[in-house]
């Protein structure tokens, strides 16, 4: 009768299994003891050169391996220290199955990385009974190897936006490829310096190849795009323009509420989201309430009509027609004597070129918002990321083309 043999499950080069047992008092943990195979010369773990002499031996360390049949497996690995002539110093010998600085095997690290694609660090740590810091470090090392670089090849149309990391105006800038939806780069903050770091990764030829860039009307971004990609058309994101006008409506509503009588306030109270909500999303009760608000206040009624008309600016595909609709909208809006409305008109006119460019490059907002929503899900899933570099890597992984 042949004896049971587990060596096939541990095909580690330059070592041999000497013993197997239960690890400690826990029957769910197994201990596999390995010693160097003296038939092979030890190799320096840094330069990979064979050692001429063994400096000292008798050392051992414990390394976590993949579970077997539900039992956690620990390897007690004996190793030697060697004198490396190439490194000119004492070094630890290289193990084929684990890095000298890690306490898990290569295959265990890969398993952790694969789990982190679908689970949070906390969940993986709990599942494998590991320290969350260990899990995160392993995941981050694999991510840096795979996504640490910035691939700026074959880019023609970019999307630039920011995402709030936490309260207190902490943002990260996101640069994505419009056609593939791939997140190319992320960096802390949303100023000129931040976006300049992204363009520093591109060659002059790559910058000249950029045809259009979709973004909101944020001047630091505009400044850097014009500086680095002077030939690129800047297209202002429709969603952000409507969002800006929604803030104008809210300011006017607040002022109208303060001027109203007690009877009028009863009607206006709670009307904020009714004015901002799209008509098709209103319930029957909400629509009735909105009609009462608009009938009561002519200024809010005009703003509500202007909100719908604003969407028509992005409806046409001819620059001349877009220009006509924009001018007509601004003339109508000028009839409302409120500083917020007048300021919004001046802003639209100042950034007119980016609105007209939409006729030539009809870059939609759904892809931009879809990317941001997915990034927010990644952030919420992990209850926020204190390590912004790690967060950027996780986002790039999620948007692999």
Tell whether the torsion through CA atoms of 278, 279, 280 and 285 is positive or negative.
positive
**What average pLDDT does the chain have?**
88
Residue % of the chain over a pLDDT of 70: 96
* 243 lies in the same domain as 229: no
pLDDT digits (tens, 9 = 90+) for 171-202: 889 999 999 888 999 998 889 999 999 999 99
Residue 382: closest CA among 367, 369, 397:
397
Q: How far apart are CA 53 and CA 282, in angstroms?
A: 81
Q: How far apart are CA 65 and CA 20, in angstroms?
A: 14
Contact present, 204 and 175 (Cβ < 8 Å): no
Of the chain, the end-to-end C-alpha distance in Å amounts to 54
Higher pLDDT, 368 or 330: 330
Asked whether the predicted pLDDT for residue 231 surpasses 80, the reply is yes
Confidence of residue 169 (pLDDT cuts 50, 70, 90): low
Mean per-residue pLDDT, 99-122: 92
> What's the pLDDT at 382?
67
Residue 349 lies in a domain: yes
Mean per-residue pLDDT, 73-79: 90
pLDDT digits (tens, 9 = 90+) for 23-68: 767 778 888 999 988 888 888 888 888 887 888 888 888 999 999 8
Asked whether the predicted pLDDT for residue 281 surpasses 50, the reply is yes
Tell whether the torsion through CA atoms of 380, 384, 387 and 389 is positive or negative.
positive
Confidence of residue 386 (pLDDT cuts 50, 70, 90): confident
> What's the pLDDT at 130?
92
* 205 lies in the same domain as 224: yes
Asked whether the predicted pLDDT for residue 263 surpasses 80, the reply is yes
Residue 1 lies in a domain: no
* 119 lies in the same domain as 212: no
Confidence of residue 1 (pLDDT cuts 50, 70, 90): very low
Residue 372 lies in a domain: yes
> What's the pLDDT at 271?
80
Beta strands 170-177; 183-188: pairing state: antiparallel
Residue % of the chain over a pLDDT of 90: 42
> What's the pLDDT at 366?
67
Residue 1 CA neighbour count, 13 Å, CB half:
2
Residue 189 lies in a domain: yes
- Domain limits for position 347: 238-359
Asked whether the predicted pLDDT for residue 365 surpasses 70, the reply is no
Higher pLDDT, 285 or 382: 285
Residue 2 lies in a domain: no
Residue 117 lies in a domain: yes
Confidence of residue 273 (pLDDT cuts 50, 70, 90): confident
Confidence of residue 373 (pLDDT cuts 50, 70, 90): confident
Asked whether the predicted pLDDT for residue 297 surpasses 50, the reply is yes
Asked whether the predicted pLDDT for residue 389 surpasses 70, the reply is yes
User: Residue 305 phi/psi, 5° resolution?
Assistant: -65, -40
Mean per-residue pLDDT, 342-347: 95
* 189 lies in the same domain as 48: no
* 338 lies in the same domain as 394: no
* 336 lies in the same domain as 306: yes
Domain count, the chain: 4
> What's the pLDDT at 140?
93
Residue 135 lies in a domain: yes
Q: Which among 14-18, 225-229, 310-314 has the top mean pLDDT?
A: 225-229
Residue 152 lies in a domain: no
Q: How far apart are CA 54 and CA 220, in angstroms?
A: 60
What is the reported pTM? 0.79
Where residue 394 sits, what CATH number does that domain have?
3.30.420.10
Tell whether the torsion through CA atoms of 359, 360, 362 and 368 is positive or negative.
negative
Mean per-residue pLDDT, 136-160: 92
> What's the pLDDT at 314?
87
> What's the pLDDT at 247?
92
* 222 lies in the same domain as 288: no
* 329 lies in the same domain as 386: no
């Amino acid at each position: 009768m042949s004896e049971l043999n587990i060596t096939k499950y541990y095909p580690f080069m330059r070592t041999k299994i000497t013993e197997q047992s239960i690890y400690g008092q826990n029957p769910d943990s197994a201990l596999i003891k390995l010693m160097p195979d003296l038939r092979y010369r030890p190799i320096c773990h840094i330069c990979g050169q064979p050692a001429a002499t063994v400096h000292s031996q008798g050392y051992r360390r414990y390394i976590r391996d993949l579970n077997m049949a539900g039992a956690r497996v620990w390897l007690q690995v004996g190793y030697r220290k060697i004198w490396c002539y190439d490194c000119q110093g004492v070094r630890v010998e290289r193990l084929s199955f684990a890095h000298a600085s890690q306490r898990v095997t290569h295959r265990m690290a890969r398993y952790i990385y694969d789990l982190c694609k679908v689970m949070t660090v906390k969940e993986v740590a709990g599942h494998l009974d590991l320290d969350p810091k260990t899990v995160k470090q392993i995941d981050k090392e694999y991510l840096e190897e795979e996504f640490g670089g910035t691939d700026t090849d074959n880019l023609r149309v970019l999307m630039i936006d920011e995402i709030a990391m936490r309260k207190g105006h902490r943002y990260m800038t996101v640069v994505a490829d419009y056609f593939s939806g791939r997140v190319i780069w992320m960096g802390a903050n949303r100023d000129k310096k931040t976006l300049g770091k992204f363009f520093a990764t591109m060659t002059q030829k790559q910058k000249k190849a950029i045809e259009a860039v979709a973004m909101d009307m944020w001047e630091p971004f505009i400044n850097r795009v014009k500086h680095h990609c002077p030939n690129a058309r800047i297209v202002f994101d429709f969603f952000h323009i409507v969002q800006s006008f929604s803030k104008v409506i809210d300011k006017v509503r607040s002022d109208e509420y303060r001027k109203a009588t007690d009877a009028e306030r009863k009607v206006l109270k709670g009307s904020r989201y009714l004015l901002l909500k799209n008509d098709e999303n209103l319930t029957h009760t909400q629509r009735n309430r909105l009609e009462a608000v608009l009938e009561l206040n002519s200024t809010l009624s005009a703003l509500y009509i202007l909100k719908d008309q604003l969407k028509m600016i992005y409806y046409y595909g001819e620059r001349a027609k877009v220009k006509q609709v924009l001018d007509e909208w601004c003339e109508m809006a000028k009839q409302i004597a409120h500083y917020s409305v007048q300021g919004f008109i001046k802003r639209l006119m100042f950034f007119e070129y980016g609105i007209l460019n939409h006729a030539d490059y009809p870059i939609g907002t759904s892809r931009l918002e879809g990317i941001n929503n997915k990034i927010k899900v990644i952030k919420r899933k992990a209850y926020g990321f204190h390590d912004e570099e790690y967060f950027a890597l996780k986002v790039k992984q999620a948007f692999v083309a």
